[in-house]
Chain A
Amino acid sequence: MNTCFKCRKIVGGYGTGNALLTEERINFLSMIDTEKGIIEDPHHQLSGSSVKGAVLVFPGAIGSSVGAYVIYSLKVNGAAPAAIISTNKADITTASGCAISNIPLVDTLETGSFFAMRSGMEVKVDADRKIVCVTNRTF
């Protein structure tokens, strides 16, 4: 079953992948291995998970302003997320990193959308059409 939600487009494009959800913000410079896309910080909720090919659903970037280059490195190394959904208003580090990496980025999803999303579910982000669809295979 597909459930779709309206969103705001920050960086255009289309991406699909399995949702990788976290309520914790990410310092891209210190937490992610740019070769494999694995979140290495042992204290982070997503420790050990990879953003590669996933739809990363997170509240935003913190810390280093160089995080934007880290997002670009992930893209060049083939380890970037397929798309990013910001649960807060998108931040400058994430927005600028996605802009040069052509990673679709959206925020301000309709109310209720995050209740429908679980890690591992297939999510389609169509930033140009301002729509996010979640496929729940358990239905």
Chain B
Amino acid sequence: MELTGEEENMLRGERGESLAVAYRILLAIGEATEAERLIPVKWAHISGVNYNTIGDSGVDFLEEFSKSARVVIRTTINPMGFDQNKTVNLSENFTKKQMSIARSYHMLGTTTSFTCVPYEIFDIPEKGSAVSFAESNAAVFSNSILGLLTNRESALSALASSITGKSPYSNLLMDKFRHAKVTVKPDYELVTELDYGLLGYFAGNTVSDNCIGINAGEEKLDTIKAKALSAAIGTSGSCGMFTKEQGTKQEIISCGKQEVITIKDELNTAEDGDLIALGSPQLGLNELHLLAALVEGKRLKKRCIIFCARAIHSQAERLGLIDGIEHAGGEFMCDSCTCLTPLITRADFDSVITNSVKAAYYLNHSNRVGVCLKDLKTIIKECADYN
């Protein structure tokens, strides 16, 4: 990859150590993806905000990095470990380290959105705009549904883009890579958001191309299903985009009921759960509308934590959705999400019920609790009684 004279100077550290680190990262990913140059991007979305994901070395790195660096484009950030406005019973160390991370991102000048669904909150640049999104579900959703152009950036490469305003011109930023060579075609009917999550997990695990074809029949996927599909593709693989186009030259991989049952058996490690956790990705307004309708006039028999962005929570409050869901026993946690939250641990819960394949994967592997995987309508049907 060729750098301009000015970029070379920054790589050498003439404008400070943080910019030098950022250009070192961009150069490495530019070489890896065979870019010839860097191009401007309009928006960076950064992951690596939850202390449970980046650890002590991440805390120290960000503290140092944020001393001299400032973002030069709109920059939003992923969820952290807990809800800032609620008193939660967490270790002093976790709280201290988490707040240090939040402070570093504030110093950098990011919008401290604490959301993994920035595409449901902020205004979307026009189709074809290049952005730099870490957080795999956001990258996959934005490429596939919104027509934004982003590679599946890492936490560090999106951070580098935020302070340079640039990303290597490669892979999914280029039209020629935004076409699928392989299409996954389920040979059964998909009904629920969980069906789409399981299909996405299969597709991401099976195909390692940048762009994957998904032929699931429906003319237009609704946002809830598209989110489930995007998040699961992001979890199991490296693919950054799905498309519906069906070229004649594409290889077709069939996804049978048996393949899906095998994946579900691997993720579904408990028959029931002590807690219902909803929100990985965090719930959007349409999901809160649906949930409010499902629990209307009912009472949840189990604890139910709903993770959503604070911006979505405020809107939902004005729409009367929060009252309804809380009345049924739901508890809201803003700023955070199911994956790797310190709020869900083996010490408090043996197993958790969720409708998210992404949540199921990380609850099993990282939070180390059992998971009972069901679609939302079934969860509410089984876990709520009429008043």
Contacts and interface: CB of A to CB of B under 8 A. Distances in A.
A100 interface: yes
Given A34-B55, A65-B154, A96 B366 contact: no
Contacts of B47: 64-66
Contacts of B134: 65-66
A69 B153 contact: no
Interface in B28-69: 28-29, 31-34, 47-48, 53-58, 60-61
Interface in B16-30: 21, 24-25, 27-29
B135 interface: yes
A105 interface: yes
A95 interface: yes
Main secondary structure of the interface of B (DSSP, over half): helix
Interface stretch (B120-128, B232-240, B378-386): B232-240
B154 A67 contact: yes
A29 interface: yes
B367 to A, nearest CB: 10
B154 A100 contact: no
A15 interface: no
Interface in A52-95: 59-69, 72-73, 75-77, 88-95
Contact of B156 (A41, A90, A97): A97
B238 to A, nearest CB: 5
B309 interface: no
Interface size band for A: 35 or more
Of the listed residues B27, B33, B158, B238, the one surrounded by the most CB atoms of chain A closer than 10 A to its CB is B238
A72 B27 contact: no
A65 B31 contact: no
Contacts of B53: 29, 64, 66, 69
B57 A72 contact: yes
A69 B155 contact: yes
Given A41-B365, A69-B58, A62 B29 contact: no
Contacts of A109: none
A70 to B, nearest CB: 8
Contacts of B21: 100
A45 interface: no
24 contacts: A25-B238, A29-B366, A30-B365, A64-B53, A65-B154, A65-B158, A66-B54, A66-B134, A67-B155, A69-B55, A69-B155, A69-B156, A72-B58, A72-B61, A73-B58, A76-B60, A77-B57, A89-B33, A92-B154, A95-B28, A95-B31, A96-B154, A96-B155, A99-B25
Interface of A: 8-11, 25, 27, 29-31, 34, 41, 43, 59-69, 72-73, 75-77, 88-100, 105, 107
Closest 4 CB pairs of A and B: A99-B28, A76-B57, A65-B134, A30-B365
Given A68-B48, A99-B156, 10 more contacts: A10-B31, A10-B32, A67-B155, A68-B157, A69-B61, A72-B57, A96-B29, A96-B155, A99-B28, A100-B24
